[in-house]
Chains A and B, each alone.
Chain A
Amino acid sequence: MSAAQRSHPWMASSAPGQIEAMLEELGAGSVKELFEQIPQDHYRSAPLDLPPALLSESELRSDLLATLKRNDTCEENLNFLGAGCWQHHVPGVVDEIVGRTEFVTNVWGSPQSDVGRNQAWFEFNSQLGALLNMDVVQLPVYSWGCAAGHAIRMAARLTGRNRVLISAMSDPERRAVIETYCEPQEMDSHITIETVATDPATGRIDVADLEAKLGDDVAAVYFENPAYLGSIETEGATIAKSAAAAGAETIVGVDPLSLGILVPPADYGANIVVGPTQPLGVHMNGGGGVGGFIASHDIERYVRQFNGFLVSMDHTEVPGQHAFNLACAHQNSYGLREKANDWTGNSVYLWVVANAAYMSLLGPEGFREIGELILSRARYAAKRLAAVPGVSIRWPDTHFKEFVVDFTDAGKTVAEINNALRGRGIFGGKDLSSELPDLGQSALYCVTEIHTASDIDRLANTLEEVL
């Protein structure tokens, strides 16, 4: 018997006689007969050209492992890359929970049959809501950029306006996603993106420029805190007040890991808050760990503009029993199709379980500790690197975990420096030289709780060596 004729471990009816038994029950002569709906000239003519099957698990494992081992990892190397995907500690309990088969394989169920998953989702909302001081949190969308895009579209619907102001120094990766959501200018519903200057002394929003660009056609101001290049934005309250005075919404993107020590955006006037979920207990996964949250106050006209799944507490026939269900389900695309608020569907809901477990593990003190640790070590890193000849720090003493390191005076390109670092087991920061040429040969470095003082010293010493 050839390998191809053996029963396949993933297909019960590939066992001998199974198909035949069902055909007999049907009174059908052949499998081919059951495909009678497909006209003969619709069948493909080109035969499938796939690599040979790896039917045994051991062969498949060898193939996959050999290929994956061609990657270098941030475990074996010392990594300082961030910019939309960040290396943080993932607690063992989180990996255990998020790997539970029930969480991995469930698809929808009912509010009763899958109540545990719905509860975990609600606990994500509740804990993130506590960090944000906001009452409404939606299940995340695909990424931070997508969350910002949906939030901007929410603001456009809320205000009936079609212009949005964002920082000139935005992450080009997120910015590109936001541009997609804002539609090309030929479309009637196009949203114009206008950039606001950054104060060259601080890396923060230039409030005067912002106020000059506000007007009665502006739907929203979107800024991030900390900003893409790391600075903690201190003028949030002024920005929100100016936006509100012009009738615009204030949307803030925030790193949730900063919220144990930094004021949540709602407290300085944000109407809609978005941000990444990956820092909350999800591995980087080559960029496949990203997700984006959207939150607002519990004001109905905002709630009615959310695009996705709003998990709410519910109650049951048994008094006092907690349940969890979908609120406002008929405003999403499953209910309203093309008349819906944008669209929804599969997103990153397994990661929501990881996020929930992560926040439960940290608690208020854990968030404070990790925030202080990141802040301290990132500032230490900036100080250490600034002492390396040829290296300077752009906007020192303003950042949380990411900061701009300027190598212009070293006379080498970031690409050259990063190659040299990589040869010594270090992944240097993201090269900014082509996206922000005004910053010269600069790179965005990320320091988190996983970087010890000796890791940072190693980076500084290695830079001295290679520059």
Chain B
Amino acid sequence: MRKDSELREFHAAAWDEPVVMELGRSGARGQIFPAPEAEVTKTVGNAASLIPDGMARNDAPELPELTEFEVQRHYLHLSQQVLGMMGISLFGTCTMKYNSKMVEQLINRPELAETHPLQHPDALQGTMQIIYDLDLMLRSLSGMQRFVFQAGGGADAAYTMAAVARAYWQERGELDTRDEVITSVQAHPCNPATSAAAGFKVISLPLEENGYPSLQALKAAVSERTALLMINNPDDMGIYNPEIKEWVKAVKEIGGLCFYDHANFNGVMGKLSARELGFDACMFMLHKTFGGPKGGGGPAVGAFGCSDELVPYLPAPVIAKDGERYFPDFDRPKSCGKIREFWGNVPIVVRAYAWVRAMGAQGIDLASDISVVTNNYMDKKLGEIRGLEKSHPDFPKWRMEMTRWGLGPMQQDTGVGTVAAANRMADFGIDPWWMSHEPWVVPEPFTPEAGELWSKEDIDQWVAAVQRISDEAYSEPETVLNAPHNQPIARVKGDWMEDPDQWAMTWRAYVRKHLDAAPGSGAGTVDAIVADPENRG
């Protein structure tokens, strides 16, 4: 029998798959649509005659021409060239979970897939019941008074917070003076970025030696200009700010609002209540913590919840209940408006509802227990590997559900840093790790998160891959530096990515810059593509 610590070998499918634009043949068809019925043509004439003068397209768009089978085969090949959690993915900050196939099959049924958001409310009672019930569940998990699901991701929920804060301060006539948002350099970039996009000035507090900004620094930053505090806890390093109640108190004392970015909820779910800690609002990521799939980056939902005091400012509509009937409540005169069209990514809301029902209160509590146990187990194993260092190595306590690690020593000793090592991880069928958001406060960072899904054996495999990479780094570093070796393609060069003469965001641009353009010919320059410079600014 194979020992757990034995690293399994892997090789990815490599189809040498052309870009779809290179495939097919003239006149091939993948879908055919019927001709308009005879009575239609008799009534309105030929389609071409219905297009206003000058508006008919004269050029055929340069799209591929393929059979239905060929399209299926092409994209199946592409799917097989996606590692995407087929092995082990401990992608930190994203809380990789199993995504129920049964639920996926249900949400693909017409009862959800073939519904329109503007149907009469009586024809959408099922959807609204699920939204309403999930709202109740998230209220219990957070202590907040109401949730909305309009935001299309965690960042969009942070933007929702900024919009709600604007509406709150606008009503008080203070929006022109309450123009600052306080966060930390360790907060997810979406917090400062959405605040700035919403029109606020951003103050980012630096970290102290203990892993979080000092209460003193916060108090120095707080003023009559403070509109909002946006903060996560614990952070991505697995450190919990034990002064968070004092933080909230300091901001509330001058009237500021406090937002709990619950991206790192997995280690504390069932144990903390954002409202009991004093926060005015919080955000849960339904596509992470609540069992929705990642989809390569959405569709996602940032569930935004807030206290009674902020409920009037929520984006409209909220789903309400009158007796036994659910309805979308648009009568919200103080609402901040809309963050996104309609009610949000309903299929992800259904998935989150299903996740909470399948877990139950005990299951959720157990999952947070497990995620903290597995992370510390992994920490211990990683601590035995040469060339690694943990963030805040002198921090004396057990970490929460993830820990920021770094390859600083390995990079110094061998030249092998986190990008090379991540590339090498994939050679073992393990998803390249999450490094860290910028700024990199730990050199050559990586941030694994085991969560409740992955088994001890999976973690042992993952650690064995890191051990192998460390061994290679110190004996044959080229193996890591030239990685990957077992992937669909060789290591990408990346040198076109900031070069306007080389980058190519479409096949058209690639053909123009790399296939047609002889060096120095002038083809492929901006002048050559923009026919009317006066018009194009």
Contacts and interface: CB of A to CB of B under 8 A. Distances in A.
Interface string A65-79: 101111111111101
A105 B400 contact: no
Contacts of B53: 234
Interface string B277-319: 1000000000100010111111110000000000000000000
A393 interface: no
Contacts of A363: 24, 28-30, 63-66
A321 B489 contact: yes
B299 A361 contact: no
A338 B163 CA distance: 16
Interface stretch (B95-103, B213-221, B402-410, B465-473): B95-103
The contact size tier of chain B is 35 or more
A325 B359 CA distance: 38
Contact of A68 (B109, B123, B400, B484): B109
Interface centre among A284, A291, A300, A326 (most CB of B within 10 A): A284
Contacts of A190: 199
Nearest to A171: B341
A83 B163 contact: no
B80 A116 contact: yes
A186 B284 CA distance: 30
Nearest to B274: A44
Contacts of A205: none
B504 A313 contact: yes
Contacts of A269: 532, 535-536
Nearest to A179: B337
A390 interface: no
A429 to B, nearest CB: 9
Given A53-B357, A349-B295, A48 B141 contact: yes
Interface in B233-254: 234, 239-240, 242, 244-245
A374 B75 CA distance: 28
The 8 closest A-B pairs by CB, nearest first: A53-B360, A106-B84, A287-B342, A116-B81, A350-B295, A287-B117, A345-B155, A187-B199
A183 B53 CA distance: 39
B50 interface: yes
A126 B509 CA distance: 9
B104 A104 contact: yes
B452 A10 contact: yes
Contacts of A237: 54
Given A43-B271, A107-B85, A142-B340, A125 B492 contact: no
Given A108-B297, A174-B341, A369-B33, 6 more contacts: A10-B100, A142-B156, A180-B339, A352-B296, A360-B75, A427-B119
A285 B490 contact: no
B102 A57 contact: yes
A368 B58 CA distance: 11
A288 interface: yes
Nearest to A457: B39
A12 B133 CA distance: 28
A313 B398 contact: no
Interface centre among A8, A119, A271, A323 (most CB of B within 10 A): A119
Nearest to B372: A34
B500 to A, nearest CB: 5
Contacts of B153: 142, 345-347
Given A43-B272, A119-B17, A313 B372 contact: no
A263 B202 contact: no
A261 B426 contact: no
Contacts of B27: 365
Given A109-B432, A287-B346, A325-B494, A453 B37 contact: yes
Nearest to B81: A116
A170 interface: no
Interface string B392-425: 0000011110000000000000000000001100
